[in-house]
Structure 1
Amino acid sequence: MLDVRRLRLLRDLSQLGTIAAVAKIHTYTPSAVSQQLAALEREAGVALLERSGRRVVLTPAGAVLAKHAETVLSALEEAGAAVAAAGNELSGPLHIGAFPTAVRTLLPEALVTLGRDHPRLELMVTELDPADAPEALRERRLDVALIHDYDVLPTAGGQGLEESPLLEETVFLAVRAGSGFAGIHSAADAAWIAGTPGTVCHAVTLQLCHTAGFSPRIRHYADDFAAVLALVAAGQGVSLVPQLAAADPPSGVRLLPLGARRRTRIAHRSGAAGHPAVIAFTEAVRASTAGYLAH
C-alpha cells in the first residue's frame, strides 16, 4: 500500500523540482524528505528518482506515479467534502487567503454572512500576495483563497488546484492632478511607484511598461495601495492601481483608465468544490462582491 503522505512529497517534488524546496514547504529536513521518498520507492517496487548532475529527477515511473498522486489527493479531497456534506452543521476552521484590497473591500461582508449563517465555522483570514496562495493551498495552510492576475500577464494556479472567476476590474494609471500625463506611454520618463519585487503587482508594472516601449524608473516600492496613492498625491511618482483600490482616491490624484484588466478568482484544492464550507464561502463572497460593486 502506498503511503499518501509520501505520495504528496513525490507530487510536490514533481512541481518544485528540488528536495530542498519540498523540505522547506513541509518544514522537514532534506534528509527526512529523501528518506520518505526512498520508503515510497520500496513500497512501489520500482525506482522513482535518479540523479542528474547535482539534482534528483523523477524516473518515467516516478513521473507516472506523481501524476496518479494528484488524482489520489484530489479523490481524498472529494471524500472529505462528501463526509462534511453529510453532516448536520458546518463547524471547524476555514482558512481563507486573500490579497490586501480584497481583504479590505470584498471579505468583510462575506465574513459577516458566514458568521451569521454558520456560527460554528471558525473563520481564519490570512493576507498574502496572490503569487504565494497556490503553494499555501497545496500545503493545506489555506482551504480557499482569492487570487488575481492581469490579462496582460496571465497566470494559473497549477496542478492540484481549481479556480472559478469572481471579478474583473479596470486598471488605472494614477498620476498627480494637474500633471500632463495622457496615458502610460507618456510616463516613460516619470518616476514610478511599484510593488515589491516578487509580487504580481510588481511584475505587471514591468510588463505594461515594457509593452509601452520603456523600462520604468522605479523610485518607491509599496504594496499598500493607500500608501501608493498618498505617494502619487505627494508628487512622488505614478503608479498602476486597480479599480478596487481606486474607489476613493485622495485629493490631488487623477486616475487614467488603461486597457488592462485585473482578474480575481476563487481558488481551492482539486476535489474540494463540493465541500460545504467552500460552497458557503463561494456564495458569500460572490454576494458581497455584487453588493460592493452596486454601491
Structure 2
Amino acid sequence: MLDLERLRALHSVATYGSVSAAADVLHVTTSAVSQQLAKLERETGQKLLERNGRGVRLTDAAELLVTHADRILSLVERAQADLEAHRGAVVGELALAAFPTAIRGLMPAALRSLRADHPDLRVILNEEDPMQSIPRVVRGDLDMAVVQDWNNEPLPIPEGLLRGTIGYDVADVALPAGHPLAGRDEVELKELAGDPWISSTPGSICCDWLTHTLRSIDAEPRIDHMAYEFATQLALVGAGLGNAVLPRLGRCDVPEGVRVVPLRTSLSRRVYAVWREEAARRPAIRAAMNALRAAAPDQGTAPDQGAAAPDQGAE
C-alpha cells in the first residue's frame, strides 16, 4: 500500500520544482524528503526522479503517480473537513494570509475573537499580496486568504476555490496640502490624471489597478514613487511628491501636509476570503469568516461591484 506522506513528498517536489523547495514547504530537511522518495521508489518498483543538471526531474512513472496523488490528497483534505464538520468543533490549525491593510484593519479584532471563542483553534497568519496568497491557497500551503479587488477590475479566482465577502472598502485620494484641489470637498479622478502618483510596487494589485484605472480615463499613469506601506506613501505625499489613493480600511494617521479628499465617482474595493472547495465544510473556515465579518468596519455596499462572482460556501 502506498504511504500517504511519501506521496505528499513526491507531490511537493512536483509542485515546487525541487527537493529543497519541497522540504521548505513540508518543514522537514532535504534528507528527509529524499528518504521518503527513496522508500516510495522501493514501494512502487519504479524510478521516480532523474538528475537534470543540478536539479532533478520527474520520470514518466512519477508524473503518473503525481496525478493520482493530487486526487488522493484532495480526498484526504475533504475527509478531514467532513470529520471536523461531523464533530462540529472549531479545532486544529488554520493557515491564513491577508494583504497589509487587512492585517492592520481586520485581523487584530478577528484573531482576538477567534482566540476567545475557539481556544482549540490555532491560527497562523502571514502578510501577503493577493497575487502571492491565492496561488498558495490553490497549492494547499494556506487554508484561507483574505484578498481584495476593485469595483472596476474584478480579480479572477482559480477553479477549485470558493469565496465569501467580508465587506467593502471605500478609497479617497491623498493630496499634498499645497495642491490646487486640496481644499475641495470632493474631486473627480480625471481632474488629477496628469499629476505624479505614489503607489505600491509594480505587480502588486494596487499598482496594477491604479495603472488600469488611469488608462481607462485616457491618462497615461505617471507613477514616480513606489512604496508598499500606505504610511510611507503618505509621507511622500506630505513632502509634495505626488498623490496617492488611500483606502479607508486600516487607515494610519494622516501626517501634516496631507489632505484626504473623497472621490465624487466612488472607488471601492471588495474585501473577501478564498479557500479550497475541499475545505468548505471545516467549522474553522466558517468561524474565521464570521470573525472577519464582525471585525469589518461598516462602509456600506458597492452596487457597481456586480461583475464579481457571488459568494460561495461558509455562510
- TM category, shorter: 0.7 to 0.9
**CA deviation vs aligned residue, 1:76-112 (integer Å, no higher than 9, x gap):** 2222223333446434544432222212333344334
Residues 218 and 5 of structure 1, relative CA distance in 2, 3 Å threshold = farther
State the distance in 2 between where 1:14 and 1:184 align: 48
**Alignment-derived partner of residue 16 in structure 1:** 16
Query: SS of 2:280's equivalent?
Result: coil
2:206 matches 1:201 = yes
**Alignment-derived partner of residue 230 in structure 2:** 225
RMSD: 4.1
State the distance in 1 between where 2:265 and 2:11 align: 40
Q: Is the 8 A contact 1:26 1:139 kept in 2?
A: no
State the distance in 2 between where 1:207 and 1:57 align: 39
TM-score, length of structure 2 as denominator length: 0.69
State the distance in 1 between where 2:211 and 2:16 align: 25
**Alignment-derived partner of residue 96 in structure 2:** 96
Segments of 5+ residues of structure 2 without an aligned counterpart are: 182-186, 302-315
**CA deviation vs aligned residue, 1:163-187 (integer Å, no higher than 9, x gap):** 3031454555543353468536854
Residues 27 and 138 of structure 1, relative CA distance in 2, 3 Å threshold = farther
Residues 106 and 217 of structure 1, relative CA distance in 2, 3 Å threshold = closer
Q: Is the 8 A contact 2:173 2:260 kept in 1?
A: no
Residues 261 and 282 of structure 1, relative CA distance in 2, 3 Å threshold = same
2:96 matches 1:76 = no
Letter in 2 for 1:275: R
Q: Is the 8 A contact 1:209 1:216 kept in 2?
A: no
State the distance in 2 between where 1:146 and 1:281 align: 10
Residue 220 of structure 2, aligned match among 214, 218, 243 = 214
Residues 144 and 209 of structure 1, relative CA distance in 2, 3 Å threshold = same
Q: CA deviation at 1:34?
A: 5.2
Identity of aligned residues (%): 36
**Alignment-derived partner of residue 132 in structure 2:** 132
State the distance in 2 between where 1:67 and 1:185 align: 54
Total equivalences in the alignment: 290
TM-score, length of structure 1 as denominator length: 0.73
Query: SS of 2:96's equivalent?
Result: strand
Segments of 5+ residues of structure 1 without an aligned counterpart are: none
Q: CA deviation at 1:231?
A: 2.8
State the distance in 1 between where 2:70 and 2:93 align: 24
**CA deviation vs aligned residue, 1:27-60 (integer Å, no higher than 9, x gap):** 5566764554454344344555567777655455
